[in-house]
Structure 1
Amino acid sequence: MPAQIYHPFESNNFSNTTCFLSGQKLTSSEEKIQVFPQWLMSRYKLEDQPFKLLDESMATYKDLKIPCAAEVNEKWLEPLEAEMAAAFEIGYDALKNIDELKLFQWAGKLLYGIIFNEIQSGIKLQHSQGEEFNISQSIIHKFSHLHLMLQSINLPLQFDDFRPYSVFLFKVDNNEKEFGYRDEINTMTFALRIRDFGLVICLQDNGANKSYHKEVLNKIGSQTLHPIQFEEFSGRVFYSAYLFNRLPEYNILPVDDTIYLEAMPLRGMSTKPLFDTWNNKIYGQVLESFWKNWGFLLLEIIKNPENPMSFLFDANGEFVNENTIDLPH
């Protein structure tokens, strides 16, 4: 019998009695896993740190859990988690040798876990106000495709000649104790800066952001970044993910025991570019947020509106060596 894809968004099934990944019924509502893995929380003492949800309610990192069948966790998720934990412990040199698909699966599972908690919180809030749970079709489109692709963890699901993501990995001269995490659920973008690396992933762009930033990536090459340089690059990617104006579409093609996922061309029937026009003032606002640790204000960042402040590149567009940057790490 061919593998069966689980579609939680078709039935709005976000209860604690159904496995988030496989859709199978759970024997107990206690069958759950942590959204942020225990090894990561322990290393950075995150368990009791506050985590703000979209409805402004506060949780802690350890509060964020998702229902998961014990056998799914044991067979599929724990091996992935163990491999990632071992690579993170070594750092950049190990991560650069990990299959990008596994980085996508790991980050995607984490982000989907947050989404799952946000949806549960939204359902409770709207029901308490006597309303039906309502969510925009474009958001459902993105969330359901992310969930579909996560099933490459536990099903024979293969991406047919495309990658649904853009992965950016850099060596970064970080403070050993710092935990830098950021996500943007609407654009499906994830960033993590810890140990000696920085990782940014666009989870639903079919590689478009990787192409968009090709020139910048070529200039950076394999050079080590100062944390402010990594945050600048992250800001560029988070902003371009916001400018990305397509909702990727896919065909599901079961062949024998394998499910192939085929990407439809991003250009489709539209003649308009894949990305809306870059606006330096809005980009400056993004940078102000990403550079919060260093206290730079918008007025400083866009003092020259045509050429916003940059720590990645000098006035001639050449890469700036991180050793020449005189800022605290």
Structure 2
Amino acid sequence: MPAQIYAPFEKFNFSNRNCFLTGDVLQSEEEKIQVFPQWLMSLYNLQDQPFKLLDERIATYKDLKIPCSAYINDEYLEPLENEIAGAFNRGYEGIKALDELKLFQWAGKLLYGIIFNEVQSGIKMMHAQGEAFNMSQAIIHKFSHMHLMLQSINLPIHFEEFKPFSLFLFKVDNKTDEFGYRDEINTQTFALRMKDFGLVICLQDNNANFGYHRKIYEQIKDDVLHPIQFEEFSGRVFYSNYLFNRLPEYNILPVGEDVFIEDMPLRGMSSKPLFDEWANKTYGQVLENFWKNWGFLLLEIIKDPEKPMSFLFDTDGKKIDAATIALPR
């Protein structure tokens, strides 16, 4: 009998009575886990730090929870958290040695936990106004596939010769106590900067963004980056994933007790490029946001509209050594 896949978006089941990963009915509504794991919150004293949700509501990191059965948590999520925590504790080398799929599952669980809270909040708000909750079909499509792939944590789900995500990992000269987190849930892009590393993941692009940035990544992936350089690369990836104009499709093939997921060609029937045209002014606005710590303004960033400011490459296209950047970390 094939594994039973749970599809919460079919009936918009986001109650606290069902496990977020399996849909199993819980013993009580108190059966929950933290979205941001306790080990990470304790490391950076995040528990009471503000976390802004899409509806402008301010929660704290510890407020963000998702319903989860004790069995799923004990059997699958705790072991994953322990493995990730151990890797993070060892810094860049620990992350580099980690199975990329584990990192994808961990980042996906965290981002889906935020999505779950956002959707739950939206349903409550619309219900209070006497209206039905609506979400675009494109977003449902993305979130559904993300949840499907997240079930590779607890089900024998296999990806058939494709990678559903893009992952970029760097050594970064961060401040000791710095925790840099950023996400964009509509494009399912996730960035984390802490200890001596920084990573960016596009969770649902079939490795397309990796191909888009491969040339630059190959040039800088073995360097130790200044934080502003990592934020610049992150800005590039967040912007390119916004320009990514495909909704990946998959064939789901049950074989015995296993489920195999096969990707459909991203090009499909369209001759249109996978990414919309890059606009430096919009990219400059992204950089302005990513460079807030250093106070650069849009007018400075796109002073030359053809060549936006960069701390990765000089005007001749040569790599900039992090040690030569005279800015605070």
Answer whether TM exceeds 0.5 for this pair. Answer: yes
| 1:259 alignment partner in structure 2 | 259
Give SS of 2:210's match. helix
| 2:38 alignment partner in structure 1 | 38
- In the superposition, the TM-score normalised over structure 1's length comes to 0.99
Alignment of 1:236-315 (within 5 A): 236-315=236-315
Q: Structure 1: which 4+ aligned runs deviate by more than 4 Å?
A: none
1: distance between equivalents of 2:132 and 2:280?
40
List runs of 5+ in structure 1 lacking aligned partners: none
Task: Work out whether 1:226 is the aligned partner of 2:226.
Answer: yes
Quick one: which amino acid aligns to residue 326 of structure 1? A
> For residues 273-294 of structure 1, what are the alpha-carbon distances to aligned partners after superposition, in whole Å with 9 as ceiling and x for unaligned?
0000000000000000000000
The number of equivalent residue pairs is 329
- In the superposition, the TM-score normalised over structure 2's length comes to 0.99
How far apart are 1:133 and its partner, in Å? 1.0
How far apart are 1:316 and its partner, in Å? 1.3
| 1:176 alignment partner in structure 2 | 176
1: distance between equivalents of 2:24 and 2:58?
30
| 2:189 alignment partner in structure 1 | 189
2: distance between equivalents of 1:218 and 1:82?
31
Alignment of 1:108-257 (within 5 A): 108-257=108-257
| 2:55 alignment partner in structure 1 | 55
Alignment of 1:71-82 (within 5 A): 71-82=71-82
| 1:29 alignment partner in structure 2 | 29
How far apart are 1:320 and its partner, in Å? 0.8
Alignment of 1:94-109 (within 5 A): 94-109=94-109
2: distance between equivalents of 1:281 and 1:11?
41
Contact 1:50 1:58 in 2 (8 A): yes
How far apart are 1:215 and its partner, in Å? 1.1
1: distance between equivalents of 2:125 and 2:80?
34
Quick one: which amino acid aligns to residue 45 of structure 1? N
Give SS of 1:181's match. strand
RMSD: 0.5
How far apart are 1:221 and its partner, in Å? 3.2
2: distance between equivalents of 1:94 and 1:263?
30
Quick one: which amino acid aligns to residue 178 of structure 1? E
Contact 2:31 2:70 in 1 (8 A): yes
Task: Work out whether 1:318 is the aligned partner of 2:318.
Answer: yes
Quick one: which amino acid aligns to residue 78 of structure 2? E
Contact 2:169 2:221 in 1 (8 A): no
How far apart are 1:2 and its partner, in Å? 1.9
Quick one: which amino acid aligns to residue 221 of structure 1? K
Alignment of 1:6-17 (within 5 A): 6-17=6-17
Contact 1:219 1:318 in 2 (8 A): no
2: distance between equivalents of 1:99 and 1:150?
15
How far apart are 1:318 and its partner, in Å? 1.3
How far apart are 1:218 and its partner, in Å? 1.7
1: distance between equivalents of 2:182 and 2:215?
24
2: distance between equivalents of 1:218 and 1:161?
22
How far apart are 1:219 and its partner, in Å? 1.4
1: distance between equivalents of 2:324 and 2:43?
31
How far apart are 1:257 and its partner, in Å? 1.4
List runs of 5+ in structure 2 lacking aligned partners: none
Quick one: which amino acid aligns to residue 108 of structure 1? G
Quick one: which amino acid aligns to residue 162 of structure 1? F
1: distance between equivalents of 2:241 and 2:128?
34
